[in-house]
Amino acid sequence: MAEKNESADKKQRGRKKRESSLKVKTIPDSICDDGWEKFIKDKYYHFSSKVTNSNAAPVGVRISREQALDLPYVSARTIMNSGIGIPLDYVVNPQSKRPAYIQSAVQSRIQDSQNPSLKVEPEEVCEKILVAYDAVIDNVGFFGTDIVPPEIRQILLPASEKEYRCVSPLGSAGLAGLVRDAAQAEGGARISIINNDSYKIGGANSVNVGLLVGRVKPLMFHPPQKDLEIKKVLAWYYKGYLPALRSSAVIKYSAWLDSVKGKEWSLAVKKRERQFIEGIVSGLNKQADSAKTLLLTRKEELPVSSDAADEELMSPTVPNRDLSMGWLLRDGRSHEWKELASEWLFHRFQNYSFNGRKLGIGADDRRRLISAITEVL
């Protein structure tokens, strides 16, 4: 009997301990209204100029799942493709109590339901906040993008031989927090979290920048240890596969073209050109066969099932996927594919250069070459 009483006392003490550890946040009556959706929509974004430079004018960008990317890189758009939502944060300090309760409501939803540590009351207002948050998190939005603040670090990328494109990077505190959590969970020697207390965004009063900026910490990623074959098959799966022209074969073809320039284009000349094209196409096919073999050998490294068909060796989002797959799957080549591949190879001939000179193939050669390439394919 004494043992039963002792057991009951332990349970009661444990229940009281859990109840005492439960933190309750009560939303003031003054903001228990229906203005949450407009507040979040106007002020909350995935990316903020303040994360890049807290002294810059506020700029915010919000993206949607429709912009998700299926690529093996860590970014907001690729993480969204995995079904994970990127937390939002405000780009301008609203001088309001609302952000604190928005953050608490979001935290209360993702905690352990069996052992909660946070509760937001009134519950119906908490639900309104979450509904408003969900409505906005997948809604494209922009703030202050009309003029780019000069304080943002800008990167110049070459757009052409004579032009550059100016790119202004915006940080995402929500994304940084997800990456940091994943790095801490995985551990190991590949990622180091640099706990530098002096790395603070917004100075002593970081809430001027956002509530999540405290989670932005430097990460040091060590060089990948994967072998080159895995890098190749991943690149082919996500970007597509196209064989490369062998310089030796193309140079021989170029020298022959120079030798027949100005001469009559007889049947013998056409036959000799066809032989050059056959040799070039044969080299392309051998490359494609080797690529297919490597893809099949390293299939376990790809995001496909072990019994996936050959047609699944490439992501469905690859640009010009039909052209790439035709090189890999020779048996499935249709007449339409041969015409497409002939156009592609003709343009490769046109743009091919070595030692500062091109092949000398122009638009007048298009019809003859495409016909010959199509026959060889």
3-state secondary structure 113-124: CCCCCEEEECHH
Asked if pLDDT for residue 200 goes beyond 70, the answer is: no
Q: Is residue 1 part of a domain?
A: no
Q: Is residue 3 part of a domain?
A: no
Say whether both 180 and 120 belong to one domain.
yes
Say whether both 69 and 181 belong to one domain.
yes
Tally of CB atoms within 10 A around 5: 9
**Which residues fall within 8 angstroms of residue 52, CB to CB, at 6 or more apart?**
152, 153, 168, 169, 170, 171
Say whether both 77 and 198 belong to one domain.
yes
Say whether both 189 and 258 belong to one domain.
no
Say whether both 188 and 282 belong to one domain.
no
Say whether both 247 and 264 belong to one domain.
yes
| Domain hosting residue 20, numbered range | 15-221
Q: Is residue 9 part of a domain?
A: no
Q: Is residue 290 part of a domain?
A: yes
Question: Is the pLDDT higher at 311 or at 63?
Answer: 63
Say whether both 262 and 358 belong to one domain.
yes
Q: Is residue 5 part of a domain?
A: no
* Per-residue model confidence (pLDDT) at position 12: 53
Q: Give CA–CA dist 108/318, Å, rounded.
A: 39
Q: How confident is the model at residue 64 (pLDDT cuts 50, 70, 90)?
A: very high
Please tell me whether residue 274 adopts helix, strand or coil conformation: helix
Say whether both 92 and 139 belong to one domain.
yes
Say whether both 193 and 304 belong to one domain.
no
Which residues lie across from 89 on neighbouring strands? 45
The per-residue pLDDT for range 127-179, each reduced to its tens digit, is: 888 888 888 888 899 999 888 888 887 788 888 888 998 888 888 999 998 98
Q: Is residue 146 part of a domain?
A: yes
Q: Which of 190, 221, 252 is the last residue of a domain?
A: 221
Say whether both 301 and 201 belong to one domain.
no
The predicted model scores a pTM of 0.69
What's the total number of domains in the chain? 2
Q: Which of 221, 239, 262 is the last residue of a domain?
A: 221
Q: Is residue 313 part of a domain?
A: yes
**Which residues fall within 8 angstroms of residue 150, CB to CB, at 6 or more apart?**
none
Asked if pLDDT for residue 259 goes beyond 50, the answer is: yes
Q: Is residue 2 part of a domain?
A: no
Say whether both 153 and 262 belong to one domain.
no
Q: How confident is the model at residue 264 (pLDDT cuts 50, 70, 90)?
A: confident
Say whether both 215 and 241 belong to one domain.
no
